[in-house]
Amino acid sequence: MALKNLSKSQYRFLDYELKEQMKRDLITENQLEEIMKTYEESEGLNFIKVILSVGAVLIGLGILSFIASNWIHIGRVIKLLVIFLALGGTLLTSYKTEINSPKISKAFLYLSTLIFGAGIFLIGQIFHLGGTWSDAFLIWTIGTIAMAFLSKDLLISIFAHLLAATFILSGFDKNIIILGLFVTALFYALNKYYNYSSVMTFFTNLISLIFILYLCNYFEIEAFYTIVLFFLIGLGMYYMKHPLNLHVFQLQGLIVLSLSGLLLTIDEIWRDIFHLDYGGIFSIVFGICFLIYLLSLVKKQLLTPLIFTCAIIMRYYFDTLYDFLPKSMFFIFGGMILLSFGVYFERVRKKRGGDMG
Amino acid sequence: MKELFKKRGFKYILIFVIFTLLLTSMMAKPVLTLFLGQEIQIKVKAYDPRDIFRGDYIQLAFEIDEISVDKLDSDIRQLSESNLEKNLYNKELYVLVTQQGTYYEVDKVTLKTPKEGLYLKTKFLYAQRHENNEVTGIIVEYPLDKYFVPENTGKELEEKVQKGEAYATIKVFKGYAVLEEILMEK
């Protein structure tokens, strides 16, 4: 079973409370241990770790920038040798410091991942490799995924996701279907390896969504159908029950369905399919149904639909009243709508203890 | 194998090997082409932008990018003219080149790998059409469109390229081409 991740303070509170219950003989020591075994304490932000990581990233960026400057005084072979030596050096330092200074060891792992990227771009520069060169990001992604598997470091894994997103977004006009599927599958496998961390699932789902957007664009699916597809995906993510971080799926599902629903309230999108006369009618009918649906979700004290309800109301307000109302009235009413939503938003948030679902 | 993975140092060696393999695999084709490929010269036409990762470069276009309709092989001409863009979109084309004086020029373009002659792999970009919508030629794209130069340099070369007074030396091996350098005409 996946361990539930708690912040440091939550973990300590739970531990303290359960010990209190044990003292009152409400639970046994074994039960306490069994309960605590189902939770894990989040590492949280650590000042030294932040400083070391930022330092590593800055050095890495410096190396990337140095490669980009294409300095004439160092030959190409020497530059390549420097990259390979730097890779070996940083990995060796990471290995040597792993036991006694794990934070320094991690910083050197980050640095080696960036140096690997610099190596990729150096090769592109040396051989004047042209085109949009999304392949560079694919190779960087694969290397970083390998690193994420071996290091089990969440930051490296998130970086791999960002690289994969860049790869897919820069390859929109190319056939990267098999490669995209392969990378997405690798990320879901990586989820298992990371004990089904919520952050990992969030980013992997994001990659899947970007990949679906790529597929829609590649197969030239019209904007209307793409948005409807995303609306259905959002509904699926929100309502389908499964054991993999359901709360992450639900949050992302809500965001996806709300964003695509918001787009479907624009009549131009419907006009592409239902031509000029009916586009406006369909968008208004959809807008009303969607607003009712969002309000039903708001009733369940969910914050994401509340934000989008506010967005829809403001969108209609701008579209219909901007030209008719005097500007001063327009802004005063607009401000009042936003203020009322703000007050309601704050109330809901307090009731839910800051949970954004 | 599991025992091996448990060894702390093995992971680091493995990641070094993976990084090295990925980087060297990227170099394999260009290096092979530089050693075994045939050197040819082609005319270039340009501007000077910057890639945040790879630095300053001169964006190049070549005379062999523009291909008139009479150079297209029968299998391409058979494709419906009205749907030429759709039929050729993202397809790999083979451009056979022959030497005409100093430079190499397009001889023929085919959809299948040529059995003989020197050829370059390319991708279809778009079709050129006459006012009456008749196709007059096609524009293709080679992965040779960037020439990387040291930071804040390349102005003189760029001007020469724009005036059409420069040419590119490339190496070609089994259709794969590597840009060696851009030289100014004497």
**B183 with B53: CB under 8 angstroms?**
no
Q: How far apart are the first and last CA of chain B?
A: 63
Looking at residue A279, what is its pLDDT? 67
- Per the structure, the count of domains in chain B is 2
- Both B29 and B45 in one domain: the answer is no
- Both B158 and B138 in one domain: the answer is yes
pLDDT in tens, B31-72: 888 888 888 888 887 655 666 667 788 888 888 988 988 888
Q: Which secondary-structure segment (H or E) carries A5?
A: strand A4-6
Q: Which residue has the higher pLDDT, B60 or B162?
A: B60
pLDDT in tens, B88-134: 877 789 999 999 888 999 999 998 899 888 999 998 888 888 877 78
Reduce the DSSP state of residue A172 to 3 states and report it: coil
Strand partners, B129: B135
- Both B66 and B156 in one domain: the answer is yes
CA distances from B118 to B73, B91, B92, B97, B162 (A): 16, 20, 16, 6, 27
- Both B94 and B46 in one domain: the answer is yes
What residue ranges of chain A have pLDDT lower than 50? 354, 356
Residue A104 C-alpha, separation from nearest chain B C-alpha, in angstroms = 15
Looking at residue B49, what is its pLDDT? 63
- Both B61 and B102 in one domain: the answer is yes
- Both B24 and B112 in one domain: the answer is no
Q: Which residue of A67, A84, A127, A156 to mutate against B (max B Cβ within 10 Å)?
A: A127
Looking at residue A94, what is its pLDDT? 93
- Both B133 and B81 in one domain: the answer is yes
Question: ipTM beyond 0.85?
Answer: no
- Both B131 and B154 in one domain: the answer is yes
Q: Nearest 5°: phi and psi at B185?
A: -70, 145
- Both B112 and B24 in one domain: the answer is no
| B32: containing domain | 1-36
Looking at residue A116, what is its pLDDT? 93
- Both B44 and B30 in one domain: the answer is no
Residues of A engaging B, defined by a Cβ cutoff of 8 Å = 64, 67-72, 83-84, 87-88, 91-92, 94-95, 98, 112, 116-117, 119-121, 123-131, 136, 139, 142-143, 146-147, 150-151, 173-175
Looking at residue A194, what is its pLDDT? 84
pLDDT in tens, A153-184: 889 999 999 999 999 998 887 888 999 999 99
Residue A137: is it exposed, middle or buried by C-beta count within 10 angstroms (0-12/13-18/19+)? buried
- Both B4 and B95 in one domain: the answer is no
Q: Could you tell me the two tokens for B31?
A: 């290096």
| Cα torsion angle, A23, A29, A34, A40, sign | positive
Looking at residue A208, what is its pLDDT? 95
How many residues in chain A? Answer: 357
- Both B14 and B74 in one domain: the answer is no
Name the B residues in 11-30 with CB < 8 Å from any A CB: 11-12, 14-16, 18-20, 22-23, 26-27, 30
| DSSP string for residues in chain B | -HHHHHSHHHHHHHHHHHHHHHHHHHHHHHHHHHHHSEEEEEEB--B--EETTTEEEEE--BGGGEEEGGGB-HHHHTS-GGGHHHHHTT-EEEEEEEEETTEEEEEEEESSPPSSSEEEEEEEEEEEE-TTS-EEEEEEE-TT-EEE--TT--HHHHHHHHTT-EEEEEEEETBEEEEEEEEE--
